[in-house]
Structures are given as structure tokens and as C-alpha cells.
């Protein structure tokens, strides 16, 4: 039943504000009809008058449909939402002329996101949450059938191996399908683990085998403390050299002092003792790079000891 009221004020806006406060509604929830603009006369004035009519209240499902219409318009998606059911749960069907895969997304990621938004809008102001399902091209029914088939198959595998079987991460709606598919199975139980959005279902068989830690050293390699070292490797303390033994170091004979080979080591022979020790520079430093004759002549003139002048050097 529509409720109509007439309100007055100095201006139209004052009259509208007065009416909204008395009715306790928002501006978008009423239709405004201006009856009198309001005029100033020589003596006094005529107040403005408006009539506010409450718009019909939309149901939860209708609000969800209206939201999706605006969402698709903003996203430039050609899809028409239609309210199919609104009793125990709200079901909205999406009709699109384009391929449905573009609206469903990979593994239903896009349509699941649309469903989450629609559910949030439909449950505004509600104390008890009402489930909202958004479907396209019968995707939900096909997906549910696939999940039930996978659940039964993995339950058989868990019983056959005696081990837990972990499924891929799923949203709450799909996890609920797995739980309901195996709730009457006498051989397994199910539980959810992890945190959103990576929460997953684990199938636990009733014949779960205890965990056995394998000894990777003993399996197929003999005894860990004995035969492992003797098998195909000889006796550790017998004819083969032990791991702690060292080969004798073959000392090398160092070059004589003052030669180019000895200068790179920066070693010099001690005055009294034998051997070499760290010390002074003997003429060269590291590896000589370059082949400049001018550099060689300069080095010979400055560093070489005095020798007899040869006819070639005089030229």
C-alpha cells in the first residue's frame, strides 16, 4: 500500500527535508511531487508544498538484481540478471549473448566474485544471512556434479592407500558440496583446513595407516653403521685409505732468488735459515703484460746491473 503525505516549507527543498525526517526515509526511497513552488507577496508569502510518495520496497533478491544491472553497465558486460528463486535461497540467472566462459572465468573465479558481491547487497539489514547463488548457462549444476564425482573418486583412493587425500583450495560453497557428498560415506570423514582464500578439504579414511619414518640410509644400502661402508668399497680400516688419512704432500722446488719466476711469490730467502719467507720485492710484480720495446729498454736502463756496452747498444 502506497503512503502519500504532503509537506510544507519556505522552499521546495525545506519541504522535502521536513517530509524525509518525519517519514524516516532516504531521498532515494521516495518520489517527490511539487504542489506549490512558494511565492513572496506584498503582504506575507505562500509556503511551498510537496507530496512524498514512498516507493515500493524491493525484496532482497530484487535489490541484488538491481545491483547486478548497474554493475554490468559499469563493466560494459552484456548480461541480463533474472531473479529465479527467493524462498530458502536467492537464485539469480545471468543471460548473455556472448560466450558464457567470459562471464564465468577460470574455474568460476569471475562468477564467484559476482556472487559474493550480490550476496553482500542482498543481505544488507538482515540479521540472518540468506544464501545467494548466481548462475550462468547451468554452470553451478554442472560444477556440483563434477565435484561430487571427484569426491567419491578421491574417497576410494584414500581408503585404498590408507592415507589422507587433500583437495585443491575451494570457496566455501564448493567445500560444502564435498562435505555433503561424503557425509554418508561410512569409510571416510572430511574436514576443512587452512585459511581463506587457500582453505581446502581433507578426506581422512577410517583405515588410516600410522606414519612410518623410512631410514634412507638402511634401505637397499645395507646396515647404516656397518656394511654400508664395506659394500663395494672395501674395508674402511683395511686395504683402502680411510677418510681421515691424508696423502703426503709433494713439495715443489722453488726457483732461485732473483729470477722472474720467483718475483711473483714475493718471497725471499732468509739469511741464516733455509726455505723462503715473505719479504721484499725482487724486480717483477705478478704477470708481465705488454711487449713494448720502449718499456723494456727503459726497464733495462734503470734496473739492470752495470754491464759492458755492446756495439748494438751503442747504435
Which pLDDT does position 146 carry in this prediction?
94
pLDDT at 257: 57
CB atoms within 10 A of CB 205: 21
Q: Which residue, 67, 99, 93, 89, is CA-closest to 80?
A: 93
Any idea which fold 141-205 has?
Answer: Ribosomal Protein S8; Chain: A, domain 1 (3.30.1370)
Question: What does the block give as the cell for 171?
Answer: 570457496
**Helix (H) or strand (E) segment spanning residue 79:** strand 79-86
Host H or E run for residue 294: helix 293-303
Domain coordinates in residue numbering, the chain: 4-54, 60-137, 141-205
Q: How far apart are CA 117 and CA 65, in angstroms?
A: 11
Along the 315 residues of the chain, how does pLDDT read in single tens digits?
455 578 888 888 888 888 888 888 888 778 888 888 777 766 667 788 888 888 788 889 999 999 999 999 998 888 999 999 988 899 999 998 777 778 888 888 899 999 999 999 999 888 899 999 999 989 999 999 999 999 999 999 999 999 999 999 998 889 999 999 999 999 999 999 999 889 999 999 999 988 755 555 455 555 554 455 445 555 445 455 555 556 665 655 655 555 555 444 444 444 444 444 444 444 433 444 444 444 444 444 344 444 444 444 333
Per the listing, cell 623410512 goes with: 214
Beta bridge partners of 32: 52
pTM of the predicted structure, to 2 decimals: 0.52
Nearest to 122 by CA among 101, 142, 92: 92
- Least Cα distance to 253 among 276, 231, 230 occurs for 276
Q: Of all helices (H) and strands (E), which one includes residue 267?
A: strand 267-269
Output the CA–CA distances (angstroms, integers) from residue 71 to 16, 124, 263, 313, in the order listed: 30, 17, 82, 97
Give the pLDDT of residue 166: 95
Task: Return all residues near 217 (Cβ < 8 A) that are at least 6 apart.
Answer: 224, 228
Rounded-to-integer distance, Cα 145 and Cα 273, Å: 92
Which distant-in-sequence residues (6+ apart) come within 8 Å of 123 by Cβ?
A: 60, 129, 130, 132
CATH fit for domain 60-137, picks 3.30.300.20, 3.40.50.970, 1.10.3720.10, 1.20.140.150 = 3.30.300.20
* Helix or strand holding residue 153 (H, E): helix 139-161
3 state SS of 105: coil
Q: Which residue from 96, 85, 95 is spatially nearest to 122, judged by alpha carbons?
A: 85
- What is the reported pLDDT for 97? 72
60-137 and 141-205 agree in CATH topology:
no
Instruction: Give the torsion sign (CA, 13, 19, 22, 23).
Output: negative
* Angle in degrees, 0-180, between the axes of helices 172-182 and 139-161, rounded to the nearest 10: 50
Amino acid at each position: 500500500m502506497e503512503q502519500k503525505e504532503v509537506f510544507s516549507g519556505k522552499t521546495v527543498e525545506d519541504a522535502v527535508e521536513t517530509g524525509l525526517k518525519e517519514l524516516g526515509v532516504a531521498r532515494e526511497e521516495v518520489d517527490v511531487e511539487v504542489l506549490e513552488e512558494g511565492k513572496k507577496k506584498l503582504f506575507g508569502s505562500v509556503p511551498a508544498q510537496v507530496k512524498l510518495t514512498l516507493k515500493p520496497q524491493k525484496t532482497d533478491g530484487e535489490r541484488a538484481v538491481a545491483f547486478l544491472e548497474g554493475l554490468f553497465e559499469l563493466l560494459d558486460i552484456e548480461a541480463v540478471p533474472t531473479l529465479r528463486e527467493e524462498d530458502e535461497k536467492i537464485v539469480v540467472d545471468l543471460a548473455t549473448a556472448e560466450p558464457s566462459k567470459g562471464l564465468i572465468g577460470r574455474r568460476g573465479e569471475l562468477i564467484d566474485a559476482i556472487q559474493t558481491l550480490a550476496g553482500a547487497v542482498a543481505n544488507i539489514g538482515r540479521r540472518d544471512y540468506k544464501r545467494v547463488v548466481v548462475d550462468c548457462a547451468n554452470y553451478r549444476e554442472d560444477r556440483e556434479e563434477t565435484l561430487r564425482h571427484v569426491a567419491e573418486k578421491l574417497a576410494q583412493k584414500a581408503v585404498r592407500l590408507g592415507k589422507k587425500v587433500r583437495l585443491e583450495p575451494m570457496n566455501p560453497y564448493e567445500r560444502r558440496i564435498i562435505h555433503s557428498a561424503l557425509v554418508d560415506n561410512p569409510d571416510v570423514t572430511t574436514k576443512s583446513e587452512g585459511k581463506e582464500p587457500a582453505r581446502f578439504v581433507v578426506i581422512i579414511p577410517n583405515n588410516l595407516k600410522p606414519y612410518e619414518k623410512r631410514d634412507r640410509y638402511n634401505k637397499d644400502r645395507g646396515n647404516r653403521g656397518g656394511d654400508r661402508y664395506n659394500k663395494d668399497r672395501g674395508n674402511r680400516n683395511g686395504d683402502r685409505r680411510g677418510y681421515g688419512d691424508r696423502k703426503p704432500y709433494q713439495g715443489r722446488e722453488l726457483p732461485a732468488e732473483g729470477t722472474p719466476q720467483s718475483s711473483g711469490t714475493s718471497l725471499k730467502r732468509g739469511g741464516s735459515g733455509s726455505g723462503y719467507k715473505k719479504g721484499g720485492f725482487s724486480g717483477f710484480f705478478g704477470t708481465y703484460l705488454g711487449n713494448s720495446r720502449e718499456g723494456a729498454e727503459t726497464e733495462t736502463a734503470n734496473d739492470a746491473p752495470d754491464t759492458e756496452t755492446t756495439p748494438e747498444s751503442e747504435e
